[in-house]
Chains A and B, each alone.
Chain A
Amino acid sequence: MSDSAKPLPPEDAANRPFWDGAKRRVLMLQCCLDCGRHRLPAARYCARCRGERSEWVATSGAGVVESFCTFHKAYWPGFEREVPYAVVQVRLDEGVRLFSNLVDVPRDRIKSGMRVRAHFDAVTPEVTLVKFVQESK
């Protein structure tokens, strides 16, 4: 579903592997080759061990909702038809956090602590967003 009035991810070479992964329906994270810590957004150095060696690795895309908020104000024209919409704060099992949206969960059913897994939403032919669905029990 293309919607040009919604912002697309910034052109950013450092985070490119994340978005390329999403297009292949894989949640990719940068991982420190020195201490094994995962990170996103991308950075040259690891914030824990300050090591410079890293690689991008595929993850299971599983995580938990830590919190959520509901936007009643649209900051971009493309969201005007969607308000009120929820943004979730997800902590992946690898410890990395993301802000995202839940697919197919009504706002009043979102709960912190809910297990979720990555869902890939191709918003344009070039861009796929990493959203989440509730983990089936």
Chain B
Amino acid sequence: MPNKDLAGRVAVAGVGTTRYGKLPEHDAYDLGVWALKEALADCGLGFDDIDGLIVNRIPDYQRFGEITGLNPRYTTITPGQGRFSGICIQTAAAVIAAGMAETVALVYGNNGRSAGDHYGGASDAYGSGGAGLWFPYGMTSPGAFHALMMRRHMEQYGTTPAQLGAVAMAFRKHASLNPDAVMRTPFTLEEYLAARFICEPLRLLDYCLINDGGVAMILTTAERARDLRKPPVYLRGFAQASEFAGSTFPPDDFWRRPIQSVAAEVYPMAGVGPADMDALMIYDNFTPTVLFSLEGFGFCPVGESGPWVADGKLQLGGALPTNTSGGHLSESYMQGWALNVEAVRQLRGECGARQVAGAELIQYVTAAPVITSMIYGKDAR
């Protein structure tokens, strides 16, 4: 477990986001700089205050430092996979706790839509890079990987397409209240079920939205964050696990084992449990990962996520408002980053029509070959 003494010692001081959509005038660097300027303005810091830099999806850290005139004490770069948003945030916390930097800028730039990025076909590298071996059989894309998992979940537990639809509908309803969301028109269950299949049992509305955009976060010590423009949002707990062995193929247990190992660390570190969460941000690359996350973290019993989500629990006003921004399915696929920003904005009370009243604790989770979770709090402990 990460050192429990670190609970609440690092805080999010600033967050920044660009517009999302088709932004062909900006490359990934430009989108990162745009978001970083927003994040700095948010907390009232300047470029000279940054002494740690973590870039994600932006092609080159040195180039990023060159165009922004940054010479940080600590630098790292990570690949453009969504699981790395959580990894980066946890790395920043460790770097700050170790004194290797005091104020870390985390910068994400994604020009995937304008660059014509595809997650299936010849450029598919999902599944530890070995995807090409299966192309002759027509097997490709992370969507198909999740379709295979979902089929098994349906067969084992009786989960239905309408229950997946409840996830997609809830997030779209949230997006309708979010001016920054790319897809804002709510749909009915009938419309969900009428959407075309991409890889059955998954339909178009089960897939996230590839777009251009940038996100930045400024993390610093709790002490320093208290002196800045916005109220600090404290990192109360964080934990990580992985499942790489055999990961060319879907896991037998929907990643339950590594998720449970993260749960066994993140809640005790934060000194809270799943029932204490006012809202949840789940990495929703596809609707099934929402179900796998809910079961793994113990929000509902194993196998019961389908009926559990079907009666509106994930909606604003429900028992556990989830992805209040619309998430990857309806706001934009910013690979976890914008969901972490949404957690921060909710805890600050900045979310307008989609605000969760009195939110004090919000958890972020990713279910993937790397599982990460962070618990954010309005209070340090």
Task: Using CB atoms and an 8 Å cutoff, list the residues of chain A in contact with chain B.
Answer: 6-10, 12, 15, 41, 47, 66-76, 79, 82, 84-85, 87, 89, 97-101, 112, 123, 127, 129, 131
Would A76 and B121 be within 8 Å (CB), given that A67-B149, A82-B138, A129-B136 are in contact?
yes
Find the A residue at minimum CB distance from B152: A67
Chain A residues closer than 8 Å to B201, beta-carbon distance: 69
Q: Apart from A9-B132, A112-B151, list 11 A-B contacts with CB within 8 A.
A: A7-B136, A10-B133, A71-B199, A72-B200, A73-B198, A75-B124, A76-B135, A87-B137, A89-B148, A89-B250, A112-B155
Chain A residues closer than 8 Å to B47, beta-carbon distance: none
Q: How far is the CB of B169 from chain A (nearest CB, A)?
A: 21
Q: Which of B118, B134, B152 has the most CB of A within 10 A?
A: B134
A68 touches B151 (CB 8 A): yes
Contacts of B117-162 to chain A: CB distance below 8 A = 118, 120-122, 124, 130, 132-141, 144, 147-149, 151-152, 155
Find the A residue at minimum CB distance from B141: A75
A41 touches B138 (CB 8 A): no
Find the B residue at minimum CB distance from A66: B152
Find the A residue at minimum CB distance from B135: A7
A72 touches B136 (CB 8 A): no
What are 18 A-B pairs with beta-carbon distances under 8 A? A7-B122, A10-B133, A10-B135, A41-B130, A47-B245, A47-B246, A69-B148, A69-B199, A70-B197, A71-B199, A72-B198, A75-B138, A87-B144, A89-B250, A97-B249, A99-B137, A100-B134, A131-B137
A-B CB proximity, top 10 nearest: A69-B147, A75-B121, A70-B200, A7-B135, A99-B139, A72-B197, A99-B134, A10-B132, A67-B148, A97-B249
Cα A84 to Cα B249 with chains together (Å): 22
B197 touches A89 (CB 8 A): no
Cα A101 to Cα B120 with chains together (Å): 18
Q: With an 8 A cutoff between CB atoms, is B248 at the interface?
A: yes
Of A41, A47, A76, A85, which contacts B133 at CB under 8 A?
A41
A75 touches B120 (CB 8 A): yes
A68 touches B138 (CB 8 A): no
Chain A residues closer than 8 Å to B141, beta-carbon distance: 75
Chain A residues closer than 8 Å to B224, beta-carbon distance: none
Cα A97 to Cα B251 with chains together (Å): 11
Find the B residue at minimum CB distance from A83: B138
Cα A7 to Cα B136 with chains together (Å): 5
Chain A residues closer than 8 Å to B124, beta-carbon distance: 75
B197 touches A75 (CB 8 A): no
Would A87 and B151 be within 8 Å (CB), given that A41-B130, A67-B250, A69-B144 are in contact?
no
Chain A residues closer than 8 Å to B148, beta-carbon distance: 67-69, 87, 89
B1-26 interface code vs A (CB 8 A; 1 in, 0 out): 00000000000000000000000000
Chain A residues closer than 8 Å to B248, beta-carbon distance: 41, 97
Cα A92 to Cα B134 with chains together (Å): 16
Of A8, A68, A82, A85, which contacts B136 at CB under 8 A?
A8
Chain B residues closer than 8 Å to A10, beta-carbon distance: 132-133, 135
Find the A residue at minimum CB distance from B201: A69
Q: Which of A8, A9, A75 has the most CB of B within 10 A?
A: A75
Q: With an 8 A cutoff between CB atoms, is B196 at the interface?
A: yes
Of A73, A89, A112, A129, which contacts B249 at CB under 8 A?
A89
Cα A123 to Cα B138 with chains together (Å): 13
Of B130, B138, B196, B245, which contacts A71 at CB under 8 A?
B138
